[in-house]
């Protein structure tokens, strides 16, 4: 009887035995417990039948029905339970809560321990991030490219040998939308082999495949002017476009018989460009500085305006004429250099000796002249632009550095009085009623409102008020 009961006992459903739950940590520390339970499960007759059934289905090529077999196995196991006890003496099953213990609910709601939780979770949608970095900039839209190609095809139609320089000017202005005096610079940029002609494929390769089409106008001009081995513009980069401007602009035709003045005009324009645009003052004009200025607008203006003197920014011939004549008047020996004694005569001796000494000490700006104690034409252009237009930011910086003796960025009453003493002496020599420095200082303090009562902290925007009595004769 004992043997029969034991054989029947191995057929029991494990769920009906209500085995005590074992902690996962205990299973990890005692792996033999799991192995023992798995061995007992494999020894059950129903397990053997299930395995044999699955093997048979696999050999026959039939789909596996593990779930169905498992259900039948549980049913058979549950049916074998009453044979263990005499009829009418079956003990009641242990009551089970419909809600179950928190641990049981957690296990039921969690993914099955027999399968990977990644299989139950839906695979995340792989989002394709569009390309956001392009080495040569974002390529142009297809619509823009097709429209541009149509214009190129119409312009190069029947010209298999390409276009020459004089024929390329219309391409520069009408298709590329650049100032017309950029045609030579653009032509040489494309014609790297110096063949004298540009074919359709050469132009497309530079303008479209080089991604120049997608650039803004300022970047296009910067790319055309800049040398490939530099990341900035220098003064010589502007000479080709100014040379073409002098030869093609109707307002500058009268200069074609005087090449020397053409060269001086081009130099003056370039110096004016770097005076206003090159904020760092290092002679290297960056793309950022070019975008922050108004040079491109002035170029477009001068390309459309026949009267060059109406373009007041950079290109006015009258402005050049005044600057050059002032320099020529001060340069008495005409060696193209000015010394201290020459500059003191500027503006009917309006400058003081002390301010001239500061200028020649190269505090406001380092001279480009290689001759010690003398300034050349470029240095004079910077000086006269700062003198004549005191409201501009470069002018404010120029004169502020002259007055700031210790270079600490703050103007004190002592520093201002040092330069005013010479003006006061001039008043006394001219038998004029002197204006005391204290009275002028009070007016300055009232206008500026310094942060500290003992010092006059002059911001650049207010400095032009102070300049009036430092450089102007009374």
Gyration radius (Cα) of the chain, Å: 46
How wide is the angle at C-alpha 139 spanned by C-alphas 134 and 145, nearest 5°?
Answer: 170
Q: What is the mean pLDDT of residues 215-226?
A: 94
pLDDT interval class at 6 (50, 70, 90)? very low
pLDDT interval class at 204 (50, 70, 90)? very high
CA 273 vs CA 277, 313, 381: distances in Å: 6, 9, 11
Looking at the DSSP assignment, which residues form a beta bridge with residue 285? 233
Give the tens place of pLDDT for each residue, 86-121.
444 444 444 554 445 554 444 445 444 444 544 455
Give the tens place of pLDDT for each residue, 410-460.
888 888 889 888 888 878 787 778 888 888 888 878 877 776 655 544 544
Please give the share of the chain, as a percent, with pLDDT higher than 90.
44
| Alpha-carbon span 438 to 208, nearest angstrom | 67
| Alpha-carbon span 68 to 66, nearest angstrom | 5
Give the tens place of pLDDT for each residue, 108-156.
454 444 445 444 556 677 888 888 887 767 788 888 889 999 999 999 9
| Alpha-carbon span 174 to 234, nearest angstrom | 28
| Alpha-carbon span 444 to 402, nearest angstrom | 18
Q: At residue 210, does pLDDT exceed 50? A: yes
Question: Which of these, 393, 256, 249, 377, lies nearest to 320 by C-alpha position?
Answer: 377
- The full length of the chain comes to 474
Residues near 404 by beta carbon (within 8 Å), at least 6 away in sequence: 410, 411, 415
Q: H-helix or E-strand containing 382? A: helix 377-388
Give the tens place of pLDDT for each residue, 45-93.
888 888 888 888 877 777 655 445 444 544 444 444 444 444 444 444 4
């Amino acid at each position: 009887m004992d043997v029969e009961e034991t054989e029947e006992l191995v057929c029991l459903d494990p769920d009906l035995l209500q085995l005590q739950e074992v902690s996962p940590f205990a299973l990890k520390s005692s792996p033999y417990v799991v192995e023992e339970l798995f061995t007992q499960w494999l020894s059950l007759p129903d397990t053997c039948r299930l395995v044999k059934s699955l093997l048979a289905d696999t050999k026959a090529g039939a789909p596996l029905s593990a779930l169905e077999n498992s259900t039948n196995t549980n049913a058979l196991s549950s049916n074998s339970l009453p044979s263990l006890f005499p009829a009418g003496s079956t003990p009641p099953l242990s009551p089970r809560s419909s809600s179950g213990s928190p641990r049981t609910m957690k296990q039921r709601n969690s993914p099955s321990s027999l399968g990977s939780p990644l299989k139950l979770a839906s695979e995340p949608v792989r989002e394709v991030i569009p390309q956001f970095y392009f080495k040569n900039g974002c390529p142009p839209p297809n619509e823009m490219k097709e429209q541009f190609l149509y214009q190129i095809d119409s312009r190069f139609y029947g010209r298999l040998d390409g276009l020459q320089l004089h024929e390329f000017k219309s391409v520069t202005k009408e298709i590329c939308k650049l100032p017309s005096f950029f045609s030579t610079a653009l032509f040489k940029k494309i014609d790297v082999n110096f063949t004298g002609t540009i074919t359709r494929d050469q132009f497309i390769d530079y303008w479209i495949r080089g991604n120049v089409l997608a650039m803004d106008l300022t970047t296009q001009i910067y790319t055309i002017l800049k040398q490939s081995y530099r990341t900035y513009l220098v003064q010589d980069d502007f000479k080709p476009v100014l040379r073409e401007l002098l030869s093609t602009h109707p307002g500058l035709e009268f200069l074609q018989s005087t090449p020397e003045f053409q060269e001086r005009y081009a130099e003056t324009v370039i110096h004016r460009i770097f005076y206003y645009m090159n904020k760092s003052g290092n002679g290297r004009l960056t793309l950022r500085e070019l975008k922050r200025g108004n040079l491109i607008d002035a170029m477009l203006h001068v390309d459309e305006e026949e009267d060059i003197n109406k373009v007041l920014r950079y290109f006015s011939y009258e402005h050049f004429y005044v600057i050059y004549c002032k320099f020529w008047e001060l340069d008495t020996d005409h060696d193209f250099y000015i010394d201290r004694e020459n500059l003191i005569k500027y503006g009917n001796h309006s400058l003081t000796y002390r301010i001239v000494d500061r200028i020649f000490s190269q505090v406001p700006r380092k001279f480009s002249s290689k001759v010690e104690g003398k300034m050349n034409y470029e240095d004079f252009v910077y000086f006269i632009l700062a003198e004549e237009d005191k409201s501009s930011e470069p002018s404010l910086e120029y004169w502020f550095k002259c007055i700031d003796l210790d270079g600490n960025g703050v103007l004190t009453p002592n520093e201002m009085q040092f330069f005013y003493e010479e003006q006061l002496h001039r008043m006394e020599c001219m038998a004029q009623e002197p204006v005391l420095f204290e009275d002028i200082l009070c007016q300055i303090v009232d206008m500026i409102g310094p942060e500290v009562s003992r010092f006059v902290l002059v911001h650049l925007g207010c400095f032009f008020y102070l300049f009036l009595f430092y450089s102007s004769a009374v």
